Amino acid sequence: MDFTKGLVIVLSGFSGAGKGTIMKHLLKHHKDEYFLSISATSRQMRTGEKEGRDYFFKTREEFEEMIQKGELLEYTEFNGNYYGTPKEYVESLVNDGKDVVLEIEIDGALQVKKIYPEALLLFVTPPDATSLKDRLVGRATETKEVIDQRLSIAYDQSFLMDKYDYLVVNDDLSSCVKRVHNTIQSERYRASRNLKNIDIIQKELKMFSKGEN
Ligand code: 5GP
């Protein structure tokens, strides 16, 4: 079968649900199969981060110029900073048959689905709300006020979970990463994604059924 186009895979979810970790493991265990989309952001570079590896760091003015020029597939403002997906990189990989993973915020994910209805949207969630609360409390880096605020954001976000194609339940990391990989691979064979392949089979069968070869 001919799979000429790659998949756009969008991973988002609750803050504290572990999407960053899942994505890192997925890319580590399937190095040649998935490509990470590097976002642009106007936020400050953190210690240990590298230009072009973690993000393309931009000033607000530079970012706004990218918006104006239509260079972003989607963008959002989060915690007072811009974040966005450069369009060209994603498009060239997908056209080359490569699967690209975007780890982005929920409103960005929904923007991507509008542009690429065939994008695969995965929502990372702990098995239940108590686990999410425990994870946020367990981080011990935030005040109670910040944790309550995160839980209130999570509550609002929970109303968008059903817009996603699959939930990624982050119970055990290694089995979760395996499930994500299997989900992506199965998705490739979804009949509705393979109308071209079905058409080729039909045309050949038509010929064969008439005794032609
Ligand atoms: P951080 O500042 O911690 O690196 O990222 C903050 C949030 O921004 C994360 O939830 C991350 O998924 C999201 N994010 C990173 N890049 C993009 C992007 O290109 N577009 C959108 N919509 N969100 C992004």
Residue bearing the bigger pLDDT, 4 or 48: 48
The answer to whether the CB of 108 is under 6 A from ligand 1 is: yes
Give every strand in the sheet of 8-13, ordered side by side.
34-36, 99-103, 8-13, 120-125, 166-169
CA-nearest residue for atom 20, ligand 1, is 84
pLDDT digits (tens, 9 = 90+) for 91-109: 999 999 999 999 999 999 9
Domain covering 8-37+98-208 in this structure, CATH number: 3.40.50.300
For the residues 66-83, what does the mean pLDDT come to? 96
Q: Can you say how many angstroms the Cα of residue 203 is from the centroid of all Cα atoms in its chain?
A: 35
**pTM for the complete prediction?**
0.92
Nearest alpha carbon to residue 104 among 192, 208, 196, 8: 8
Does the structure show a pLDDT above 80 at 138? yes
In this predicted structure, what is the pLDDT of residue 1? 78
pLDDT of residue 104: 96
**Of the candidates 115, 95, 81, 92, the residue with the CA atom closest to the CA atom of residue 10:** 115
Given a cut of 90, whether residue 180 has pLDDT beyond it is yes
pLDDT of 126 over the 80 cut: yes
Evaluate if residue 139 carries a pLDDT over 80: no
Determine the pLDDT at residue 181.
97
Q: How far is the CA of 153 from the centre of ligand 1 (A)?
A: 15
Q: What is the mean pLDDT of residues 132-140?
A: 86
- The pair phi, psi for residue 39, each rounded to 5°, is -85, 160
Q: Given the CA of residue 55, which atom of ligand 1 is nearest to it?
A: 16
Tell me what the mean pLDDT of segment 127-134 comes to: 94
Ligand 1 centre from 183 Cα, in Å? 23
Q: Pairing mode, if any, of strands 81-86 and 40-41?
A: antiparallel
> How large is the C-alpha radius of gyration of the chain?
20
